[in-house]
Amino acid sequence: MCGRFAMNKETDQLVAEFVAQGGRPQDWRPAYSIAPTVNAPIVREWQDEGTIEREITLARWDWPKPPSRPKGAPIINARIEKLPTGFWVGAFSNARCIVPMIGYYEWTGERGNKQPHFIHAEDDALLAAAGLTWTTEIDGERRRVFVVVTREARDASGEVHDRMPAFLSRDLWDDWLNPASLTVDGDSAASKSNRLELLDELDASSSAIAATMRTHEVDRRVDNSRTVDSRDPGLIVPVDGAVGDRR
């Protein structure tokens, strides 16, 4: 998955969709070009004195690199294959989130002549991408950050890129957001079983949703995240002469 997606719902629409508490409409304006290090709405849960709370909140699309990694582009995606062990295991076990989007962009072609594509559900439904979230220090300030979980691409998305977001079906939202840790203290076998069970559910869910994805070419003005008007809904409209949506 390349580093751009679109999310055109207002905060109050997201609150209603995800049955979440909190989230102020003035915190977010719909955007059709969300790039790395930009704030975007996520859905998360946490426990407050035994009560599970769910909220819409803004988070930065970026994950600070560990000191052992070379500096460079921000970390924005987490591969589904790497969630149960190593670098991502803590966030996967304890701090999962949903990243709402209506679709995302990929590019094909040679450098300097790349064609952008917009990939979305066939019914243009709101998509719930699996994500991980954390609170960390950025430039001396405590910030909430997130990454999007990706998987091997299928169907339309596979025509333009080999990776795609792992999307959640509605019946998996509660399990994915559940703030109860997948880690069982002192029982590595149970911890591993919990992680693999949730990954199997995510794999099945995202495979089913991948079959509904469609793609079309869009205008190249979306190419430059610094100059494009991210509020322009025309960014996701098929370009003149494009042959409709493709599965």
Residues pairing with 165 in the sheet: 150
Query: 134 in a domain, yes or no?
Result: yes
Rounded to whole angstroms, the Cα distance separating 218 from 216 reads: 6
Mean pLDDT of 206-211: 92
241 domain residue, yes or no: no
Please name which of 35, 86, 116, 85 lies closest in space to residue 195, comparing C-alpha atoms: 85
**Total of domains in the chain:** 1
Strands 103-108 vs 51-61: parallel, antiparallel or unpaired: unpaired
Residue 243 lies in a domain: no
Report d(CA 3, CA 156) in Å as an integer.
18
Please indicate whether residue 2 or residue 210 has the higher confidence score (pLDDT): 210
Is 100 part of a structural domain of the chain? yes
CA 32 – CA 88 distance, rounded (Å): 28
Residues 6+ apart with CB under 8 A from 92: 78, 83, 84, 132, 182, 195
Among 55-59, 159-163, 175-179, 209-213, the range scoring the smallest mean pLDDT is 159-163
Task: Tell which residue, 40, 56, 228, has the closest CA to residue 145.
Answer: 40
Q: State yes or no: pLDDT of 55 exceeds 80.
A: yes
What integer pLDDT is reported at residue 162 of this predicted model? 82
Give the global pTM.
Answer: 0.93
H or E element, residue 207? helix 188-210
Nearest-angstrom CA–CA distance, 218 and 242: 8
pLDDT tens string 63-105 = 988 777 777 778 999 999 999 988 999 999 999 999 999 999 9
Q: Is residue 88 part of a domain?
A: yes
**Mean pLDDT of the region 22-38:** 85
Q: Quickly state the pLDDT bin for 150 (edges 50, 70, 90).
A: very high
Q: 3-class SS at 2?
A: coil
Domain boundaries, position 207: 5-236
Tell me if 20 sits within 8 A of 14, measured CB to CB: yes
Tell me the average pLDDT of the chain. Answer: 89
* Mean pLDDT in residue range 119-125: 90
Q: Taking 70 as the threshold, does the pLDDT of residue 156 lie above it?
A: no
Confidence check: pLDDT of 158 > 70: no
How does pLDDT run across 225-246, given as a tens digit for each residue?
889 999 999 999 999 755 556 5
Q: What is the CATH number of the domain that holds 210?
A: 3.90.1680.10
Do 212 and 116 meet the contact criterion of CB atoms below 8 Å apart? no
On whether residue 242 sits in a domain, the answer given is no
Tell me, yes or no, whether 247 lies in a domain. Answer: no
What percentage of the chain carries pLDDT values higher than 90? 65
Beta bridge partners of 183: none
Exposed e or buried b for every residue in 174-195, given b needs 16+ CB within 10 A?
Answer: eebbeeeebbeeeeeeebeebb
Pairing of strands 141-152, 127-138: antiparallel
Read off the pLDDT band of 25 (50, 70, 90). low
- Show the tokens assigned to 162: 């080999």
Query: Is residue 210 assigned to a domain?
Result: yes
Q: How far apart are CA 3 and CA 24, in angstroms?
A: 26
The answer to whether 154 touches 210, Cβ cutoff 8 Å, is yes
